[in-house]
Amino acid sequence: MITVDRKPPLHQQKSTTDLSSIRSSIMAPSRPRSVQIDHDMIESHIMAPPPLKQSNFKDDNMLVFAQKKEEEEESNKYLQLGLKYHEKGELEKATYYWRLSSQHGSPLGLFFYGIALRHGWGCKKDPIKAVKYLQSAAESAVYELQTNVAQSAMVAKSELVLAIYELGVCFRHGWGVPKNLETAAYYFQIASNLGDPDAQNDLGFCYMHGIGVKKDLYLAAKYYRLAEKQGQGIIGNSWIWKEKYNQVEEPGWNGKVKK
């Protein structure tokens, strides 16, 4: 079982509302020169391709499917080797195999390599590059969600939740990006809606203290309750079960408080 080395969760930290802005400068591309093209001359030198047979499409699809399956098997092999060496404490080997897995497009390979870069597990710490890998992990998982069947989609969803939550953690602490509590809360919101209890607890804390969001005890109770129902409750949070907060569980509750 791998545990990601994080700073203490929000409910165990002092709150801060300092926000940093992201600055970037983009160089405009040079204007291309105008080129005159004789299309008739070009077309006269191009022979029409032979008509495609239907069997060609079938063969191509089978080839693409076989290549994709081989790529997935290869990436999973490297991923499992990374997990194996991480459990043994051989972090350099673990990170090496996660990097190979990431190069084959595995969302989890991208995720674990990003976490390794963020914390310096068997490699030079590089929080900026770590954020890029976590973003790629999320994008890759979204693609799998859109293209795969139900069982694979469930796996992709769990991969997506991991990546999105950790992106929130990056913005919360300023790891590889300027600290931005509003953006952190945004990512926690997405991960919470996808059912992640850690994100639900952190989002509940944000609403309880007005960190990155407007303070709202009813929304705080809502997300704390969701986390507790998954066995991830926080000691001392009995207040969330007061009767006045029951309305947050009513079907169609829109955030408006009934007096």
In tens, the pLDDT along 225-256 reads 999 999 999 999 999 999 999 988 887 777 77
Residue pair 86/2 in contact by the 8 Å Cβ criterion: yes
Q: Is residue 192 scored above 70 in pLDDT?
A: yes
CB atoms within 10 A of CB 9: 14
Average pLDDT over residues 173-195: 95
Hunting for tokens 């006269």 — which residue is that? 44
Q: Which two tokens mark 59?
A: 């063969």
b/e for 65-84, b at 16 or more Cβ within 10 A?
Answer: eeeeeeeeebbeebbebbbe
DSSP states along 151-217: HHHHHHHHHHHHHHHHHHHHHHHTSSS---HHHHHHHHHHHHHTT-HHHHHHHHHHHHHTSSS---H
> What is the rounded CA–CA span in Å between residue 229 and residue 5?
25
Whole-model pTM?
0.70
Q: Is residue 150 scored above 70 in pLDDT?
A: no
* Coil, strand or helix at 101: helix
Higher-confidence residue of 24 and 113: namely 113
Residue pair 206/10 in contact by the 8 Å Cβ criterion: yes
Q: What is the pLDDT of residue 146?
A: 76
Q: How far is CA 77 from CA 63, 102, 141, 153, in A?
A: 21, 11, 18, 20
- Which of 47-56, 58-67, 122-131 reaches the highest mean pLDDT? 122-131
Hunting for tokens 């002092």 — which residue is that? 14
Write the pLDDT tens digit of every residue in 93-108.
Answer: 999 999 999 999 889 9
Q: What is the pLDDT of residue 78?
A: 94
For the chain, the distance separating the N- and C-terminal CA atoms, rounded to the nearest angstrom, is 46
Q: Which residues contact 113 (CB under 8 A, 6 or more apart)?
A: 95, 98, 99, 101, 102, 133
Higher-confidence residue of 201 and 4: namely 201
Q: Which residues contact 250 (CB under 8 A, 6 or more apart)?
A: none
Q: What is the pLDDT of residue 229?
A: 96
Q: What is the pLDDT of residue 2?
A: 56
> What is the rounded CA–CA span in Å between residue 126 and residue 130?
6
> Which pLDDT band holds residue 46 (cuts at 50, 70, 90)?
very low
Residue pair 182/212 in contact by the 8 Å Cβ criterion: yes
Q: What is the pLDDT of residue 73?
A: 87
Q: Which two tokens mark 192?
A: 């919470």
Residue pair 111/83 in contact by the 8 Å Cβ criterion: no
Q: What is the overall mean pLDDT for the chain?
A: 79
Q: Which two tokens mark 58?
A: 């079938």
Q: What is the pLDDT of residue 151?
A: 59
Residue pair 109/102 in contact by the 8 Å Cβ criterion: yes
Q: Is residue 26 scored above 60 in pLDDT?
A: no
Please provide residue 33's backbone torsions phi and psi, each rounded to the nearest 5 degrees.
-75, 150
Residue pair 224/200 in contact by the 8 Å Cβ criterion: yes
Q: Residue 125 burial (CB < 10 Å; 0-12/13-18/19+)?
A: middle
Q: What is the pLDDT of residue 65?
A: 52
